[in-house]
Amino acid sequence: MRGAAVKADVLQPHPVKDQLPGVDFCVTSSPHWAEAVLLGFQHYLVMLGTTIIITGIFVPKMGGGNVEKAEVIQTVLFVAGLNTLLQTWFGTRLPVVMGASYTFIIPIYSIVLAPKYSQYADPHERFKETMRGIQGALLIASLFPMIAGFLGFWRIVVRFLSPLSAVPLVTLTGLGLYQLGFPKLANCIEVGLPLLILLVFLSQYLPLIAKSKRAIFDRFAVLFSVALVWVYAEVLTVAGAYDGRPQITQLSCRTDRSGLITAAPWIRFPYPFQWGGPTFHAGNAFAVMAATFVAVVESTGTFIAASRYGSATPIPPSVLSRGIGWQGVAIFLDGMFGAVSGSTASVENTGLLGLTRVGSRRAIQISAGFMLFFSVLGMLLHIDKVIQKLSCF
């Protein structure tokens, strides 16, 4: 009997963590297929906001127009779908979305504004040469997380992450996005603020008022908010509320000024090195590698938060290290396809896990399917203005 008790202890080296109150579905469980599809589409909408914002920052400065912007958005979506599936299948296997990261904005912006690319008179040629420089920097920078993760070096680092140090890490990972989200909301306060208020009301207050046995409004608050505010923004546009307003206001508020719906091809398959072979510069590579280290720390905090929202067991250091290694693979694919930014575990989508109380891995994998589908069929890009407002949440 004593030997059997010892054997039972051996089979349980990792005690199960107490579930958070109100978590309806854990990592390995899943809601009904119809509900899982809606949740996956909701995760897709959230990551689409970050994708469009980052693309909108870089592509115009690189010399690209609406056509190039639509192609880059489709490329980022395609690579994000691949990276999310790889992370959920072979990495940490947690419900995390791997998407474009704000961490890479400063080093990549320095590449975009480099004098060696400003000498090109043709905007399209400048776009291609700048993209090739960004690809080379991402390919080199991806070696750091792959080496640190797959060879186990990051496992040594995360062993020193106690709860006292992990909590500030996870908190600061999320708070760091406020400085990027709220300025975008302020660009069109009459659309962004109602969206934010409606999202908070539907997710936090309406369920208490309605007292429904089924989680509907709080679980699908993002879908309801986007649909209602999109109709509201369309009414303002058609009614001429923005006629004669400044150009920046019209670009941020009008639903007919994005230019993506006419620029995006019906069907387009992103492929490696579609803008030419990468070019390598040591200064660019080291700058992006420094951002990669920050992205690795950010992903570590996001993995910890996602495991908690998914009611998973405490993450062993080896699993965190493996996830970082696959993040390196994600950044490598970003460089191959020309995704204009490196990848990290999405803080916004992890927050959505807590909002919906659904930590299902299947819902995240379905969202990856939406990313791959709409990266090939790019005609959903015309909802980008409302989605940008959502990203501030």
First to last CA, the chain: 55
Q: Which residues contact 242 (CB under 8 A, 6 or more apart)?
A: 236, 249, 250, 253, 254
Buried b or exposed e, range 11-27, using 16+ CB within 10 angstroms: eeeeeeeeeeeebebbb
Mapping DSSP to helix (H, G, I), strand (E, B) and coil, where does residue 30 land?
Answer: coil
Instruction: Say if residues 31 and 358 touch (Cβ distance below 8 Å).
Output: yes
Instruction: Say if residues 63 and 123 touch (Cβ distance below 8 Å).
Output: yes
The whole-angstrom separation of Cα 208 and Cα 212 is 8
Instruction: Say if residues 56 and 75 touch (Cβ distance below 8 Å).
Output: no
Tokens of 36: 């899982």
Instruction: Say if residues 307 and 275 touch (Cβ distance below 8 Å).
Output: no
Each of the 393 residues of the chain gets a pLDDT tens digit; together they read: 455 444 444 444 445 545 566 788 888 888 999 999 999 999 999 998 889 888 988 999 999 988 898 899 999 999 999 999 999 999 999 999 999 988 898 899 999 999 999 888 899 999 999 999 999 999 999 999 999 999 999 999 888 877 677 667 667 666 666 666 677 777 788 888 888 899 889 888 888 887 777 778 888 999 999 889 988 988 888 888 888 888 777 777 887 766 666 666 778 889 999 999 999 999 999 999 999 998 998 899 899 889 888 887 778 899 999 999 999 999 999 999 999 999 999 988 998 998 898 999 999 999 999 999 988 876 555 444 445 555 544
Buried b or exposed e, range 56-92, using 16+ CB within 10 angstroms: bbbbbbbbbebbbbbbbbbbbbbbbbbbbbbbbeebb
Among the listed residues 220, 219, 227, 243, the one whose alpha carbon sits nearest the alpha carbon of residue 194: 227
Instruction: Say if residues 355 and 224 touch (Cβ distance below 8 Å).
Output: no
Give ∠ CA 331-349-108 in degrees, rounded to 5: 35
φ, ψ of residue 30 in degrees (nearest 5):
-155, 145
- Per the DSSP assignment, residues forming a β-bridge with 343 are 100
